[in-house]
A and B are shown apart, each in its own frame.
Chain A
């Protein structure tokens, strides 16, 4: 089909299509048809997303749970939050983890994308497919596999076995202290998803017109200088969406940590999501749980806005 296409980005409300001709207009303005098309989605979405969202904000002023009943406590939950060391520790862990994994995912993704585009070229399809593999695997299965890879007891796993062959200590208990548990977590989540970011960034690289790169090469830009001054600036929009996508996902990390360390040892690898989950379901405090969830939502929003601001500044400079 080679008909006229509507160009431009995603479906932004200010750029919706308008139709000039009257019969088409009335057909597309049929109220009953519109209700049939949008009704079911809107009803499900409102009842299961929007109403609970407002409800959850309401919970932050209460104590208790659905099983034990609720008490109105005003701003007590927010006051409790300020003096709660476990909350601040979880927040710090969430931020630390978010930054480490985002840098890893997007950084390695970018390296892979450069590898696909400039070295493997057309032979990259197979490598892309293989590196994408872990992206589709269930987190619990990946975590179970990493538990075995880094195991020390009852038998040493693959990593400890390789370490002892290389002459290093082969009995390291990777999940025994928070530092090494954190490393395993980051390694796992970077391993899992760098293939995804590689494909996203690869798509962006392929779209850079050849003559721009050729021109830069004729001007003497090579290697790192070519990447720094020509490729990165042209890749900025996709790089930016990748970072936003990645940090939003990693700040909300739950599955990986629940399945790999369960927040341990102690609570040293417990992000906000896990702290919220335990508060609500182990200690039966929905009000405080919702208050923590609210902070997580605000944190994601804040980080996204900061990245947007930062990128604007960078471009005008």
Chain B
């Protein structure tokens, strides 16, 4: 593939600065000189990771462990009751379902609309495409707050407040600028000869798009989908504004509500519900980590 991701990868695996440091003559000296740095890296990892470990351990503690033992003590046993409490009484199951119901359709719409629009703007030839691209680009800058109130008015009049549709429509529109912009960039990397060859073979424009072009930008689409997933999944402002019915809350507003209600008194279930929102995103990130990193670095170097 000649997508930018592949190009970046070549850079990344190349040796960075092979002869940067002069090696001290004896091994012990080298080890000693490296000690402060090792300590710094260890401290860094401690600061980044320990809060998460603490979070997960705390979610397994019983209520009296919080008051009787120091906060860094290991849990006495695995108390899964916190999780069932968060799942049922805390409505986390409902919130997770709502988040999925809002995220999946908007993600699909963003990708289908955004990829097609990027193709029309970058590859197809028509008057005004430069201007339209600029209009999409401007959308990256606009703060949500600037369109929040008219959207509330529209959804209120259309009776879409307290409906997941209001979220799906808004997420789709807000995901488009970045998707269109990035996809247009990726489409630049497709050589015109590929299109020409496909047309000469008798394929029409739609067939060429679906069979020849799409497979070439598969990785790019995955990267964008992942970035958009995190944006949508972690949204607070829109779901807070458009949803007030507890049965329709998404994970973020649900968690905010839960912490507000039980956070002071019931630490165990609170920690468990935080874990329930953190662990899925962490797992998804770990599974697709390589792709995120490559996609990110590719984007930054091009800009």
Q: A residues 137-188 with Cβ under 8 Å of B?
A: 137-141, 144-145, 147-149, 153-158, 161
| Nearest CB on A from B147, distance (A) | 4
CB atoms of B255 and A138 under 8 A apart: yes
Complex contacts, B291 vs chain A, CB 8 Å:
none
Taking A11-B184, A34-B120, A158-B71 as contacts, is the C-beta distance between A141 and B255 under 8 angstroms? yes
Q: B residues 194-253 with Cβ under 8 Å of A?
A: 194-196, 199, 204-206, 209, 216, 230, 233-234, 236-237, 240-241, 251-253
CB atoms of B181 and A17 under 8 A apart: no
CB atoms of A41 and B174 under 8 A apart: no
| Nearest CB on A from B108, distance (A) | 12
State which of A120, A122, A254 has its C-beta within 8 Å of the C-beta of B236.
Answer: A254
Q: Please tell me the number of chain B residues within 8 Å of chain A, measured between CB atoms.
A: 130
Taking A17-B192, A53-B146 as contacts, is the C-beta distance between A161 and B72 under 8 angstroms? yes
- For residue B51, CB closer than 8 A to chain A, the reply is yes
Residues of A contacting B: mostly: helix
CB atoms of A155 and B149 under 8 A apart: no
| Nearest CB on A from B90, distance (A) | 12
- For residue A45, CB closer than 8 A to chain B, the reply is yes
Complex contacts, B88 vs chain A, CB 8 Å:
none
Most buried by B among A2, A21, A28, A130: A28
CB atoms of A66 and B156 under 8 A apart: yes
- For residue A306, CB closer than 8 A to chain B, the reply is no
CB atoms of A202 and B297 under 8 A apart: yes
- For residue A283, CB closer than 8 A to chain B, the reply is no
- For residue B60, CB closer than 8 A to chain A, the reply is no
Task: Tell me the complex Cα distance, A52–B303, Å.
Answer: 29
0/1 string, A79-92, CB within 8 A of B gives 1: 00000000000000
Give the nearest-CB partner of A210 in chain B: B17
- For residue B172, CB closer than 8 A to chain A, the reply is yes
Task: Tell me the complex Cα distance, A130–B282, Å.
Answer: 11
0/1 string, B5-27, CB within 8 A of A gives 1: 00010011001111110000000
CB atoms of B143 and A213 under 8 A apart: no
Known: A28-B195, A38-B116, A203-B8. 9 other contacts (CB 8 A): A42-B132, A137-B281, A140-B252, A141-B255, A158-B72, A202-B297, A254-B236, A258-B236, A280-B149
**Selected A-B contacts with CB under 8 Å, 13 pairs:** A14-B130, A28-B205, A48-B174, A140-B234, A141-B278, A144-B274, A155-B71, A155-B267, A207-B11, A255-B234, A258-B240, A273-B143, A296-B143
